[in-house]
Amino acid sequence: GQSLEQPSEVTAVEGAIVQINCTYQTSGFYGLSWYQQHDGGAPTFLSYNALDGLEETGRFSSFLSRSDSYGYLLLQELQMKDSASYFCASPYNFNKFYFGSGTKLNVKP
């Protein structure tokens, strides 16, 4: 199957900026989604990049570069409540849905 690779854990301090990277296999790739999941909670949709470039939604931004098979999620002005796991995901061929293994973000005061 297709795979999306992301770091397992990232730590940052409150108020800082953090970038979570995701690399992916290109065959059947249509675009990159990002989801947030708090411990014990359900994943919630954050953003989707169908085209190259930056998509901004408040403190969160997501970027895609198809030529590099790479994307990232950028979180600014980190807050304690941003401590969660973040997953990149892709609807390969729009009929199979692959998620990365998740990046656990620890925000420290």
Partner 1 sequence: EAGVTQSPTHLIKTRGQQATLRCSPISGHTSVYWYQQALGLGLQFLLWYDEGEERNRGNFPPRFSGRQFPNYSSELNVNALELEDSALYLCASSIARQGSSYEQYFGPGTRLTVT
Tell me which residues touch partner 1 (CB under 8 A): 1, 30-31, 33, 41-45, 48, 50, 87, 89-91, 94-102
Q: Which is nearer to partner 1, 61 or 90 (CB)?
A: 90
Please report how close the Cβ of residue 58 comes to partner 1 at its closest, in angstroms.
17
Q: Please check whether residue 37 is in contact with residue 87, taking contact to mean a CB–CB distance below 8 angstroms.
A: yes
Query: Given strand 53-57, what is the order of strands in its sheet?
Result: 4-5, 18-24, 70-75, 60-65, 53-57
Please report how close the Cβ of residue 40 comes to partner 1 at its closest, in angstroms.
9
Q: Which is nearer to partner 1, 16 or 54 (CB)?
A: 54
Residue 50: other Cβ atoms inside 10 A:
12
Tell which residue, 89, 100, 86, 79, has the closest CA to residue 19: 86
Q: Which is nearer to partner 1, 96 or 108 (CB)?
A: 96
Please report how close the Cβ of residue 43 comes to partner 1 at its closest, in angstroms.
5
Q: DSSP label at 14?
A: T
